[in-house]
Amino acid sequence: MEMSLIALASITVVSILFLFKFLIKESRGSKNLPKGSLGLPVIGETIGFINALEKEQGAEWINKKVAKYGPIFKTSIACTPMVCIVGQAGNRFIHGSGNDVFSTNQPKTIRDLHGNNTIFELSGSRYILVKKAILSFLKPENLQNYVGRMDDLVTATLQKEIKEKDTIKVVDFMKKLTYNVACDILFGIHDVATKEAFLDDFRLVFKAFGSFPIKYPGSPYSQGLQAKERISNRFLPILRKRKEELSTGVLSPTNDVVSCLLSLRDENEEPIPEEVVVDNFRFIMIASHDTTAVLLSLTMWKLSRDKQIFSEVLKEHMDILRSKAAATEEKLTWDDIQKMKYTWQVAQEMMRIFPPAIANFRKALKDTNFGGYDIPKGWMVFSVPHGTHMEKDIFSSPTEFDPSRFDKSSKPIPPYAYIPFGAGTHICIGNEFARIETLTAIHKLVTQFEWSQVHPDETITRKAMPFPSMGLPIKIRPRIPT
């Protein structure tokens, strides 16, 4: 009882101090903050927001705020004061402003899981250096060479997954697939035991992103932080071996992303610190794995439910198969990927309705203002894709699923209106890699297999990202050739 009273008193004192800090900041930092609520001391409005996400009602949570306070409002999530700006003009302001106004920093609780040296957290010359290195690895001429390897990886993962099975969970399969692709192509990690050990801990980190961000023994958030440290410790010997292999000429800087980063030299011809490579390894693995798994799972969910969409997709891929048979080329090529236009339109429409990230965050580097309101230095700002994705003046009949919106002959989509990958100078640098991976996987699935949903009424739920609520179990069997 005594310990409980002490703990309660401690929490109360911390809460009062935290609230007092906010009140002081509001009274002296800005004269005209947006309307809204910072919620409870310390936790802010985090609980309500997470509860809404779990029910795939994050958009509704934000819409209620907009209805009450307007398209610019303040809140506090993950122990961080924030300003939400909804709409195309707000997207342009957040994503189009210079690096002297906003940085790509994430809220502290998210940053603690990613690390302090990711491409989101770096600034200045080091940010430019790391970004250029990753972009060089993902440039179009390199991506063309990855198509055949992706074909092999998708085929091998599929064969292993369905061996002696007639039912699989699509979400689990897509996570395995995207993880294998990232390990092989991006990071050059091929040892099965090493990959499995990493994956166990990455799963804990993924789970932590969708949990309440508070540290106590056994909490998902604490387990995620511990897993993050184990990933770092396990990766360091790999990093140092790569460094040695680079110095002896066994590896080249173009071998994988890690080798590319280790080969960097700053303006003083010094290598970047190991912690920068480690943090970006974790970050890129998370970004390349979960977001693409989301897109693939949701696309399969849609194809399972919509016969017309499925028929159009199947026709496109069967046409590619027939053309390849005439050319006696078995593996997919870069030219084949470019022919999958309708399939990518379906994927784009899925991301319009179910964007992988509910929000895109930035941090104010100086006092600024927008729409007549002040935004204090140090506060986070965020845009929400659904604010324009579901705007009827931009996308007619926005609740209808219509892939033709993304046909080049259709009405052009205004800049900063479609932002599943972000926008501006900080747009996701892996979006083309994700496109190739998505199209390769869909091609193999629709041309080689037939399937049906186990639960036809399965809905979408969201933790950090949206997934079919039951993991999308399907009955699957090889397609009979016609």
5-9, 42-46, 197-201: which has the highest mean pLDDT? Answer: 197-201
Q: What is the pLDDT of residue 6?
A: 47
Q: What is the mean pLDDT of residues 175-191?
A: 92
- pLDDT at residue 424, as a whole number: 83
Residues 7, 81, single domain; the answer is no
Question: Where does the pLDDT of residue 428 fall: very low under 50, low under 70, confident under 90, or very high at 90 and above?
Answer: confident
Task: Report yes or no: 377 and 366 within 8 Å, Cβ to Cβ.
Answer: yes
**What single-letter amino acid sits at 377?**
K
Task: Tell which residue, 204, 159, 157, 210, has the closest CA to residue 182.
Answer: 157
Identify the burial level of 255 via C-beta atoms within 10 angstroms of its C-beta, where 0-12 means exposed, 13-18 middle and 19 or more buried: middle
**What angle, rounded to 10 degrees, do the helices at 170-181 and 192-209 form?**
120
- Clarify whether residues 110 and 44 are in a common domain: yes
Non-local CB neighbours of 312 within 8 Å, separated by 6+ positions: 342
Burial 157-176 (b: 16+ CB within 10 A, else e): bbeeebeeeeebbbbebbbb
Adjacency order of strands within the sheet including 102-103: 72-77, 80-85, 380-383, 360-364, 102-103
User: Kindly report the CA angle at 138 between 331 and 327, in degrees rounded to 5?
Assistant: 20
- What pLDDT was estimated at residue 53? 78
Q: Looking at residue 252, what is its pLDDT?
A: 87
365 close to 101: Cβ distance less than 8 angstroms: yes
Which among 14-28, 47-61, 421-435, 443-457 has the top mean pLDDT? Answer: 443-457
Q: What is the pLDDT of residue 207?
A: 84
User: 102 and 25 in one domain?
Assistant: no
Range of weakest confidence among 72-76, 352-356, 424-428? 424-428
Residue in 466, 373, 374, 384 with CA at minimum distance from that of residue 423: 384
Select the highest-mean-pLDDT range: 247-256, 305-314, 407-416, 460-469. 305-314
Least confident span in 81-85, 139-143, 397-401, 436-440: 139-143
Residues 21 and 69 in one domain: no
| CA–CA dist 441, 388 (Å, integer) | 29
Tokens (6 digits) for 263: 């080969």
Do residues 145 and 121 make contact, with C-beta atoms less than 8 angstroms apart? no
Domain count within the chain = 2
Q: Which of 99-113, 223-237, 438-452 has the lowest mean pLDDT?
A: 99-113
Q: Is the pLDDT of residue 419 over 60?
A: yes
Identify which has the larger pLDDT, 216 or 294.
Answer: 294
| CATH code, domain carrying 84 | 1.10.630.10
Instruction: Indicate if 3 and 109 belong to the same structural domain.
Output: no
CB burial of residue 214 (10 Å; 0-12, 13-18, 19+): middle
pLDDT in the model for residue 439? 97
The whole-angstrom separation of Cα 166 and Cα 189 is 30
Cα separation, 356 vs 350, in Å, equals 9
Give me the pLDDT at residue 329, please.
65
Q: What is the pLDDT of residue 9?
A: 44
Residues 6+ apart with CB under 8 A from 23: none
Among 50-59, 252-261, 395-404, the least confident range: 50-59
Same domain, 213 and 117: yes
Q: Does the pLDDT at position 451 exceed 60?
A: yes
> What integer pLDDT is reported at residue 298 of this predicted model?
97
Q: Is the domain of 25 the same as that of 91? A: no
Reading the block at residue 413, the tokens are 């989509």
SS (H, E, C) the chain: CHHHHHHHHHHHHHHHHHHHHHHHHHHHHCCCCCCECCCECCCECHHHHHHHHHCCCHHHHHHHHHHHHCCEEEEEECCEEEEEECCHHHHHHHHHCCCCCEECCCCHHHHHHHCCCCCCCCCHHHHHHHHHHHHHHCCHHHHHHHHHHHHHHHHHHHHHHHCCCCEEEHHHHHHHHHHHHHHHHHCCCCCHHHHHHHHHHHHHHHHHHCCCCCCCCCCHHHHHHHHHHHHHHHHHHHHHHHHHHHHCCCCCCCCCHHHHHHCCCCCCCCCCCHHHHHHHHHHHHHHHHHHHHHHHHHHHHHHHHCHHHHHHHHHHHHHHHHHHHHHCCCCCCHHHHHCCHHHHHHHHHHHHHCCCCCCEEEEECCCEEECCEEECCCCEEEECCHHHHCCCCCCCCCCCCCHHHHCCCCCCCCCCCCCECECHHHCCCCHHHHHHHHHHHHHHHHHHEEEEECCCCCCEEECCCEEECCCCEEEEEECCCC
118 and 216 in a single domain? The answer is: yes
Domain hosting 25: range is 1-30
- pLDDT band per the 50, 70, 90 thresholds, residue 235: very high
Query: Would you say 195 and 235 are in contact if contact means Cβ atoms under 8 Å apart?
Result: no
Count other C-beta atoms under 10 Å from residue 332's C-beta.
22
Q: Using 50, 70 and 90 to split pLDDT, how confident is the model at 29?
A: low
Asked if 207 and 175 count as a contact pair (C-beta separation under 8 A), the reply is no
Whether residue 482 is predicted with pLDDT greater than 70 in this model: the reply is no
Q: What is the pTM of this model?
A: 0.87
- Residue 81 sits in the same domain as residue 25: no
For residue range 43-79, list pLDDT tens digits in order: 889 888 888 877 778 889 999 999 999 999 999 987 8
- Do 161 and 18 reside in the same domain of the chain? no
Quick one: tokens of 155?
């085929």
- In a shared domain, residues 13 and 72: no
User: If you average pLDDT over every residue of the chain, what do you get?
Assistant: 87
Q: Both 4 and 82 in a single domain? A: no
Residue with tokens 């039912």: 167
Position 27 confidence tier, pLDDT thresholds 50, 70, 90: very low
Q: How confident is the model at residue 131 (pLDDT cuts 50, 70, 90)?
A: confident
What amino acid is encoded at 135 in this protein? Answer: L
